[in-house]
Structure 1
Amino acid sequence: MVAELVVSLSGIGSGTLARCAALADELDRRRVPLSLLLAPRRAVPGEASTWLRRRVAAGDALVLHGFDHQPDPSRRAVSLRRWVESSALPAHEAGLRLIAARAALERSGLATDLFTPPSRLASPGTVVALRRHRFAVCADMAGVRDLRTGDVRTGRVRVVGGHSGYLAGVGREARRGGLVRLEVDAAALDRPGARDVLLEAVDLALHHGALPTTYRPPAPYSSTASPRGSTTTSTPSGAVPVRTR
């Protein structure tokens, strides 16, 4: 089995745009697409939204990151409350939040059918609501769920900080043909060595034969051939077509 590599970036906004663009340039040189995790509160018209649209048109995947993130999710009380909320959210409430979150994206000219839950934990009700609202993917703590087929690619998220302690796990996962998921917050890219550690992990996965991809569903949902060996997939109304490399 061939390993797959997904690199995701969160914390995208006007204040972090320069470091996001610098990381994207490094990954472009490696022909590795990004899964761009956008929280609804950050979906505002402006330079960041323009950059996101360009990245999606070039092959990156836009992922709705939760429902209504608070500005400071690092606070323990907020984090714990959201973890409990995520694990117990009923389908009706999740559906209402999804509608509001999608509306926030649309105001910036963005759209997606990909979702990752707050605290990376999706309640059964959230999964039901995602299917009702025609989302294609839910990427949670343990893996990536194709909501159309029910298939799950297992693989835990490895959040990149400023150290390289998890590199052995990346190499091991890639060698055995698993799903390597690397995630970094744009704010962390200011920490000494954090970007270098991420790129080292990417290079290690590629060295072991991992194929770069995104959270976009695989080939069965592709339709028209695109340049450079890419395929164009169906997208929500108003979205920029997404290519998977």
Structure 2
Amino acid sequence: MVATLVVSLSGIGPSTLSRCADLADELDRRRVPLSLLLAPRKAVPGEALDWVRARARGTDALVLHGFDHDTDPCRRPVSLRRRAEFSALPAHEAGLRLVAARSALHRLGLATDAFAPPSWLASPGTLVALRRHRFAVCADMAGVRDLRTGDVRAGRVRMVTDHWSYLAGVGRAARRGGFVRVGVDAADLDRLRDPLLEAVDIALHHGAVPGTYSSADSPLGSTMNSVPSGAVVDRTR
């Protein structure tokens, strides 16, 4: 079985743009596309968002990464601990936030039917809401779900670290023909750029085929373009 490699990038913004662009250039040389994780409420109009639009018109995939990463979206009167935005929501509340997120994306001139929850944690209610609102893919901590068929491709997210065991784990997964999911926050690229690229090179060396969470030719892929045809970008917002 041939391994699949998916590299995801979050935390894209004005302060991290140069590092994001550098990483994208390195991956382009390796013919490895990026899955760009974006929370629309946190997106700042300007060069970084223009860069996301340009990349999404190419081989990179846009993935909705929550709405605003609010840790208490239901506004509970008593909160015992902080939770990721979609980790504990019932279906109705999750649906409201998904509608708001899609609307915000549309105003930015973007669209996607692929979803990756903040911290990679999605409640059962969130999965129900994603299906109701016709999302195609949900990438969570343990695997990637085809929301149209119910199929799940197992493979945990491997957030990049600089420890030797990280590279060893990537190599093992690739050799076994597994699903190699490499994730990084742009804020960490100063420290983790080289380990990430080394992990990618190891996976490719073992024959992994690069893809994204929205690969059109994947059985788990999205069918929606990242930049909608005829979209008008409001640059005043």
The residue type paired with residue 51 of structure 1 is W
Cα distance, 1:196 vs structure 2: 0.5
Q: Note the alpha carbon deviations across 1:167-196, whole angstroms, 9 max, x for none.
A: 1110110111110000000000122xx111
- Of 39-48 and 163-172, more deviation after overlay is shown by 39-48
> Cα RMSD between the aligned structures?
2.5
Q: Which residue of 2 aligns with 1:211?
A: 209
Q: Which runs of 5+ in 1 are unaligned?
A: 72-77, 223-231
Cα distance, 1:32 vs structure 2: 0.1
Measure the CA separation in 2 of the matches of 1:101 and 1:218: 22
Q: Which residue of 1 aligns with 2:13?
A: 13
Equivalent residues of 1:114, 1:215 under 8 A apart: yes
The residue type paired with residue 197 of structure 2 is L
Measure the CA separation in 2 of the matches of 1:115 and 1:60: 15
Measure the CA separation in 2 of the matches of 1:7 and 1:39: 17
Change (3 A) 1:64 1:80: farther
Among candidates 185, 194, 197, match of residue 196 of structure 1? 194
Equivalent residues of 2:95, 2:126 under 8 A apart: yes
Q: Which residue of 2 aligns with 1:117?
A: 117
Cα distance, 1:119 vs structure 2: 2.0
Measure the CA separation in 2 of the matches of 1:195 and 1:79: 36
**Matched positions, count:** 223
Cα distance, 1:238 vs structure 2: 5.6
Measure the CA separation in 2 of the matches of 1:25 and 1:90: 40
- What TM-score, normalized by structure 1, do the two folds share? 0.83
Partner of 1:187, secondary structure, is: helix
Cα distance, 1:15 vs structure 2: 1.4
The residue type paired with residue 239 of structure 1 is P
Equivalent residues of 1:136, 1:217 under 8 A apart: no
Q: Which runs of 5+ in 2 are unaligned?
A: 72-78, 231-237
Q: Note the alpha carbon deviations across 1:216-244, whole angstroms, 9 max, x for none.
A: 1553779xxxxxxxxx9742696269xxx
Higher helix share: 1
Task: Say whether residues 1:168 and 2:168 are aligned partners.
Answer: yes
Over the matched positions of the two proteins, sequence identity in percent amounts to: 73
Mapping for residues 1-245 of structure 1, pairs under 5 Å: 1-70=1-70, 80-83=81-84, 86-191=86-191, 194-216=192-214, 219=217, 234-235=223-224, 239=228
Q: Note the alpha carbon deviations across 1:60-81, whole angstroms, 9 max, x for none.
A: 000011232159xxxxxx9942
Equivalent residues of 2:7, 2:34 under 8 A apart: yes
Measure the CA separation in 2 of the matches of 1:110 and 1:179: 27
Partner of 1:219, secondary structure, is: coil
- Of 130-139 and 100-109, more deviation after overlay is shown by 100-109
Partner of 1:53, secondary structure, is: helix
Equivalent residues of 1:137, 1:217 under 8 A apart: no
Change (3 A) 1:5 1:102: same
- What TM-score, normalized by structure 2, do the two folds share? 0.86
